[in-house]
Structure 1
Amino acid sequence: MILHELLSYDLLRLIWWVLLGVLLIGFALTDGFDMGVGALLPFVGKTDEERRIAINTVGPVWEGNQVWLILGGGAIFAAWPPLYAVSFSGFYLAMFLVLAALILRPVGFKYRNKRPDAAWRKRWDWALFVGGAVPALVFGVAVGNALQGVPFELTDSLMPLYQGNAVMKLLGLLNPFALLVGVVSLTMLLTHGATWLSFKAEGVVAERARAIGSVTGPVAIMTFLLAGVWLAFGIPAYHYVAELPAGSPSNPLLGEVVREGSWLTAYSLRPWIAIAPVLGVLGIALATLGLRKERAGWALLASLLGIFGVISTVGLTMFPFILPSSVQPGASLTVWNASSSHLTLFIMLVCTVIFLPIVLGYTAWVYKVLWGKVDAAEVTSNPNAY
């Protein structure tokens, strides 16, 4: 238990905040191109053969990529129980919408090729479109609402309460700023899917993906910058009135939080975090350029960099806040007040140190084994192709 004593409670909280970011970024980097390909499917494939080429670029890996989402949800449940309770209860209908869309993906992949009927396959192609586009949009909408603050409050017993019924809560999430962030997420993942298709597909499918990505990339950059300006000058930030004592218990009601000033304050306090939005813009710009120059590998790597930068921008700008409250700022959930116990975080960290390298190693091995481009000959000759 010596190591347990050396790792302070606040250090473990910080480590788990970073790990949560790693899991969410890992999900966006891997399952992100799955969703992007699904959302692009009706537009990059005009014939059944072309759509099969697009589907089979992600067919061997899409199930494994969803591990990151499961790990992220598990990490929130175990490391940040109040965050899990507040977010899943407040975003219930939005979560249900995402899950329903995600359920369409495995069903679409598995059932699409069961019948040769063109109408049957077209319906499942649109199901795959919904399974890719809807989660990409809704995840961004959720982030946009987190940046503004969510209308919840906590009772003295830390029970979360929301204003309005479930339908009103869902409609409240669909506000202009959140929808703008949703467009950032959607166009970013469309560009990511386009770079993947450019890298993995052959022929006209790759050409159409490059053409679409060359448009969605600049849109992602412009909406990202617009959202940044709006956030900086149109949405009040959250601040602690006084820093919490080191090792404070996880109780959001202990600290005093005010909602005032600008989120830009974070960049004056920690200037080094400006590298995140720079990487976001630079990465997507280079991905767009790579698509236009037909440099598929370059475009895919740049897209990965751009997604890393965009998601890191959100986390670093909000730090230490994770889910602020717009109606009771003092109930806002932060890195310092919403975690599990010291011992729980330590045991989870030990498990992560053991098992995360196994997940990474297995994932790398799968991608290595399934390396190579997909063309018409592959999907017609391979009995295991979708």
Structure 2
Amino acid sequence: MKEQILTNARLILRDDVVTGTLVIRDGEIAEISQGISQQPQADNLDGEYLMPGLVELHTDNQEKYFTPRPKVDWPAHMAMATHDAQLITAGITTSFNSVALGDIIGESTRVEKLDAMIKAIIESERVGLNRANHLLHLRCEVSYPGLMELFERYIGEDLVKLVSVMDHAPGQRQFPPENIPKYREYYMIKYGLSDDQMDDFIALQQANSAQYADPFRRRICEVCHDRGIAIASHDDATLAHAQESAELGMQVAEFPTTLEAAKASHELGLKVLMGAPNIVRGGSHSGNIAAKDLARAGVLDILSSDYYPSALVQAAFMVANMEDNDYDLARAVRLVTANPAEAANLQDRGVLEVGRRADLVQVNSHSVMPLVERVWCKGKRVF
């Protein structure tokens, strides 16, 4: 691969932002130097930011392209290509596509489309169709009776690098007992249930959780430890939840719902992941703890775009510009680069350092919001 020289960039390093030059050779970062350069053969960035490619640990963005409308199945490779294009233009060069193993309503669309979606992700990556590096994140609904059959079917896939365990039953994590009236209202409308049908629905979900959640959670963690796959909790709400996640050897705490759970998770060594849309919107759409409050407390470790890819770079710069936290730009950018890469055991990316993958994003911050100008993946210009 031809050598590329990117000069007069504001390089966002792990702990600092400096003006300098970065050289790409054979898909890797070959040299980094500081200072203004006048090299005529170099690509002059004129003071724009150059940062590592964004690492996304939890996005289900692909689902809307596989099923753009109810009962509409879109051709798999076209769906995947459209999803990939949106991620690349948002600066995301590594994506953990989160696929739901199980759902709260049994044989839902998510379950029906699961195999086709996973096969499309694997095949598109194998044949080089994708511009970003696409991996798999298995989201395990532990109160789903058929979970272990699905888990055992997919856990052996090479692209599986992250597994999360979640329980969306009423009375659990996201829906503690005091929130069951909200749970009731939401799902009655979503599924068109009567009062009596909703009573039965709640009773079934609670019974499934009581029977399956704990043994499934523990077995999944055992398998992931044996395979060296990172594990994430989901929607932890209490100190006890955080302690259980730590005892089970989890590395990431996805979307804790309270400050108590987030602080405890952080102190116990789990990387606290929150949604970038939470930062952009100024709070949680479901009424849980705001990500900006975790930044103020110094316990925000990772941001995920979740359902809105372009929120990721925007949120990192917003965190850096907040006046009431200790996140400078270098630390804020780690939320979307180094920290998620390290949490998922990817040691070859996420930082501008010699020898790392040349996954790079050029960002123009001179406008009203940071804009992704160009993107490289393994040294190849992909946007």
TM over 0.5: no
- After TM superposition, the score normalised by the length of structure 2 is 0.30
More helix by share: 1
Q: Which has the higher contact order (CA 8 A, sep 6+)?
A: 1
- After TM superposition, the score normalised by the length of structure 1 is 0.30
